[in-house]
């Protein structure tokens, strides 16, 4: 699973691990992942169907190649 860097503290973590979610009372259906180090919320773009849709459109209209969604997630890395 791709890791991301927290925009607040720079901590690297795997957003799919949801390590902070056990503390949150409004986690149901939430697409945010919270940094296990500082709590800063980052949107998990891997879960976004809108992002996947737009990325496919870009792939089709730019080069015609099928870029997979993981590339988009990795672009989130600092």
Which residues form the interface with other proteins (CB under 8 A)?
Answer: 3, 5, 7-14, 17, 19-20, 22-26, 29-32, 34, 36-45, 47-51, 54-55, 72, 75-76, 78
Structure letter (DSSP) for residue 22 = G
Q: Say if residue 6 is exposed, middle or buried (CB neighbours under 10 Å; 0-12, 13-18, 19+).
A: buried
The CB-of-60 to other proteins minimum distance in angstroms stands at 16
The CB-of-63 to other proteins minimum distance in angstroms stands at 14
The CB-of-23 to other proteins minimum distance in angstroms stands at 5
Q: How far is CA 73 from CA 19, 22, 25, in A?
A: 19, 24, 27
């Amino acid at each position: 699973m791709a890791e991301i860097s927290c925009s607040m503290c720079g901590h690297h973590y795997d957003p799919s691990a949801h390590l902070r979610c056990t503390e949150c009372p409004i986690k149901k259906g939430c697409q945010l992942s919270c940094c296990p180090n500082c709590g800063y919320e980052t949107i998990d773009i891997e879960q976004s169907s809108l992002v996947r849709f737009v990325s496919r459109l870009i792939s089709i209209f730019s080069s015609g190649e099928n870029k997979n969604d993981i590339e988009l997630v990795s672009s989130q890395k600092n």
